[in-house]
Structure 1
Amino acid sequence: MAPAAAVAIDDDDSIEDTVRTTTANLNYLLPDGPSINRRFVSAGVEVNTGKYGPYPTTIRDGRTIRDHFGLDRHGFRLIDAPTTIQNFHDSTEIEAKYQDEVCAHVKAAYGADVVIAMGWMLRTSGNIGKKDPAPNSVPEKGKPYRHYGGLQPAAGEVHVDTEPSRQLAYAHRLYATKARPNGGPGFKRFVISSFWRTFSPPPQECPLAVCDARSVRDDEGTPNELRIVDKIPETEEAMLAPMEEAQLAAAIFHHSDGHRWWYFSDMVKDEALLFKFHDSGSRGEGLGWRTPHSAFWDESFRGEANVRESIECRTIAFWE
């Protein structure tokens, strides 16, 4: 299926003052937490060791000016992204088609030479215990939990899923093993992104907010080590054991009055929010190279909103 054609970008920032806003609590990292930050994930549950606190935050609705936003300025863009998937709870259908669809949309949006997918995850703002879990979220007997293709709660802390210092080596590994396993010319730039789609009816009670990348300083962010486990540790001592080398990590953020937040109300199934985790070509250039994000409870549509069900797919794009 051919991806949607590119749309001209509006460069006038004054239009941002014309939109509707809502106020919601975003959970930022508090300054008095532990020295080691970790996120433990297992089937249907995620636990952070860091201490987070709610900060009332103005979140702007970009729906009426959606063509204003640019990936290389803001770090995110709402794109038209038609899908052939009929049932997003059917992991067999998703595995067969969805990641190829995503790669085609991302390649068109960036103009990259090659894009590879790095897995998908369903999320919901509803009660996971009352839902039939996606098959991949339940470990096979005798096998460890795999953080891929399952059903997880909405991620409710301000974060970016990559930690900057670890991404160049990661990109080289993926280029050699996934993008060009038979050899290639090498790459000049790479971008790790999230392709986020909600497939429940609008309006959604718990949409995703993204932060204008230009409002985030390059020196912001604290590493949050990722631990994928069969069972969440029961004691603080186990959670805060010494860090290990080469662990995957995200970046989590302390509050800043300068952060400028956006979302897109009333998203539908054939749209997607594409936003950057890490852009090697924009860092240090004053452009949008990473996008903090968080789910939030939207009170704009009180009494009318639906449970949010969404699917996210990570990709890495290469320019050779």
Structure 2
Amino acid sequence: MILDADLAIKDTARQIQANLNYLLPNGPSINRGFVSAGIERNTGRYGPFPTMIRDGRTIRPHFSLDRHGFELLDAPTSVANFANSAAIERALDASLVVPTSWMLRTSGAIPPREKQEPYRHYGGLQPATGEVHVDTEPSRQAAYAQRMYAQVRPEGKGFKRFVISSIWRTFSPPPQDYPLAVCDTRSVRKDEGTPNVLWVVDQMPDDLLDPAIGDDNAQPLAAAIFRHSPDHRWWYFSRMARDEVLLFKFHDSDRSVGWRVPHSAFWDGSLEGANTRESIECRTIAFFE
């Protein structure tokens, strides 16, 4: 529920109109996402929906991870790998925060793949993701958390809560042409979202809908993709600098707080002199023992 105080403060923020790509009805019954080096394709049909996106820059202290599902943090760094687990531990107050993967993304051109080694969806350079999604599908996350905990705490006492998050940072000069929009978790119903099974491949198949691919045998990864809802409330933080990170939730096992944040890159034509967006995302899982 979005309270009256939140509705009042949101009206003080700068507003822009932009297109967000949502899953369209009457598309294929099979939803798959294929990723390879520099390429990402989905079987679903997506269409642009004109959407109001508010700029949270001037009211950034208003946002909190457990209320909205995201917040902007100061996290200065001078290293190439921009993961900052200390900042995340402070924000989450968790017993253990484990980085699980990272990826560079750009709105610019991606050089052709040179190495012919099997593709791993870890590190490397990918395009900005331009459809509304959450990188985790709820029904698969408890088992994933158990596997991860067993790896990092083989003699551990167990955990009572886990949070899967993304730490997102731009390192191209502001403003960026394709920033990231995040949806207030309170404006998303718990029953929203369609599973989109993830396939990591060396080469894109000729037929993405081939029934012989067999989704039941796919690796146990899937995203959630979303249909348009007029109730969704969207935010972004303009002119992000490399010493800031946007922290937002993919999945929180505690459903009494904000537990997931749909998000998408979008074209921001509201600011002059926009630069090619270059960013890094680091995924983490935090355990509360």
Alignment TM class, shorter chain as reference: over 0.9
For 1:26 and 1:153, locate their aligned partners in 2 and report how far apart those are by CA, in whole Å.
16
Give the residue type in structure 2 aligned to 1:45: I
For 2:69 and 2:135, locate their aligned partners in 1 and report how far apart those are by CA, in whole Å.
14
Deviations 1:250-288 (A, max 9, x none): 00000000000000000000000000000001x2x2x31
For 1:228 and 1:295, locate their aligned partners in 2 and report how far apart those are by CA, in whole Å.
21
Give the residue type in structure 2 aligned to 1:151: L
Deviations 1:166-207 (A, max 9, x none): 0001001101102x13x1111000000000000000000000
| Alignment match, 1:263 | 236
For 2:211 and 2:85, locate their aligned partners in 1 and report how far apart those are by CA, in whole Å.
36
Give the residue type in structure 2 aligned to 1:275: F
| Alignment match, 1:104 | 86
Alignment map for 1:1-320 (pairs within 5 Å): 12-13=5-6, 14-85=8-79, 88=80, 94=81, 98-99=82-83, 102-129=84-111, 139=115, 141=116, 143-178=117-152, 180-181=153-154, 183-238=155-210, 241-245=213-217, 247-281=220-254, 283=255, 285=256, 287-302=257-272, 304-320=273-289
How high is the sequence identity, in percent, across the aligned residues? 67
Cα distance 1:218–1:138, how it changes in 2: closer, same or farther (>3 A)? farther
Tell me by how many angstroms 1:39 deviates: 0.7
Root-mean-square deviation (Å): 1.6
Give the residue type in structure 1 aligned to 2:285: I
Contact in 2 for aligned 1:36/1:240 (Cα 8 Å): no
Tell me by how many angstroms 1:235 deviates: 2.2
TM-score of the two chains, using structure 2 as the length reference: 0.94
TM-score of the two chains, using structure 1 as the length reference: 0.85
Give the residue type in structure 2 aligned to 1:166: R
For 1:256 and 1:64, locate their aligned partners in 2 and report how far apart those are by CA, in whole Å.
26
Give the residue type in structure 2 aligned to 1:107: E
Contact in 2 for aligned 1:200/1:269 (Cα 8 Å): yes
SS, match of residue 145 in structure 2:
helix
SS, match of residue 259 in structure 1:
coil
| Alignment match, 1:5 | none
For 2:277 and 2:211, locate their aligned partners in 1 and report how far apart those are by CA, in whole Å.
30
Cα distance 1:227–1:236, how it changes in 2: closer, same or farther (>3 A)? closer
For 1:265 and 1:103, locate their aligned partners in 2 and report how far apart those are by CA, in whole Å.
24
Give the residue type in structure 1 aligned to 2:64: G
Tell me by how many angstroms 1:234 deviates: 1.7
Cα distance 1:239–1:311, how it changes in 2: closer, same or farther (>3 A)? farther
Give the residue type in structure 1 aligned to 2:97: V
Count of paired positions: 284
Tell me by how many angstroms 1:301 deviates: 1.3
- Segments of 5+ residues of structure 2 without an aligned counterpart are none
For 1:278 and 1:46, locate their aligned partners in 2 and report how far apart those are by CA, in whole Å.
22
Give the residue type in structure 1 aligned to 2:244: E
Contact in 1 for aligned 2:18/2:267 (Cα 8 Å): yes
Tell me by how many angstroms 1:138 deviates: 5.4
For 1:12 and 1:267, locate their aligned partners in 2 and report how far apart those are by CA, in whole Å.
26
- Segments of 5+ residues of structure 1 without an aligned counterpart are 1-10, 89-93
Cα distance 1:297–1:239, how it changes in 2: closer, same or farther (>3 A)? farther
